Amino acid sequence: MNVILLGPPGAGKGTQAVRIAEKYQIPHISTGDIFRKNIKEQTPIGVVAKSYIDKGQLVPDEVVIEIVRQRLAEKDCEKGYLLDGFPRTTFQAEALAGFTTVDTVLNLDIDLNLLMKRLTGRRVCSACGESFHVSFIGDAKECSKCGGALIQRADDNEETVNNRLVAYTNQTAPLIDYYTKQGTLKNVQADGKIDEVFAAITRVLG
Q: At what angle do helices 90-97 and 174-182 cross, to 10 degrees?
A: 30
Contacting ligand AP5 within 139-168 (CB under 6 A): 164
Q: Does 10 bind Mg ion (CB under 5 A)?
A: no
Q: Does 86 bind ligand AP5 (CB under 6 A)?
A: yes
Contacting ligand AP5 within 8-47 (CB under 6 A): 9-15, 31-32, 35
CA distance linking residue 63 with residue 45, whole number of Å: 8
Element housing 196 (H / E): helix 194-205
105 binds, among ligand AP5, Mg ion, none (CB under 5 to 8 A by kind): none
How far is C-alpha 161 from the geometric centre of its chain's CA atoms? 14
129 binds, among ligand AP5, Mg ion, none (CB under 5 to 8 A by kind): none
Element housing 114 (H / E): none
The DSSP annotation for 87-140 comes to --SHHHHHHHHTT----EEEEEE--GGGHHHHHHTEEEETTT--EEEHHHHTT-
Binding mask 11-50 for Mg ion (x = CB under 5 A): --xx------------------------------------
Using CB under 5 A as the criterion, which residues of the chain lie in contact with Mg ion when the complex forms?
Answer: 13-14
Using CB under 6 A as the criterion, which residues of the chain lie in contact with ligand AP5 when the complex forms?
Answer: 7, 9-15, 31-32, 35, 52-53, 56-59, 64, 85-88, 92, 118-119, 122, 131-133, 164, 193-194, 197
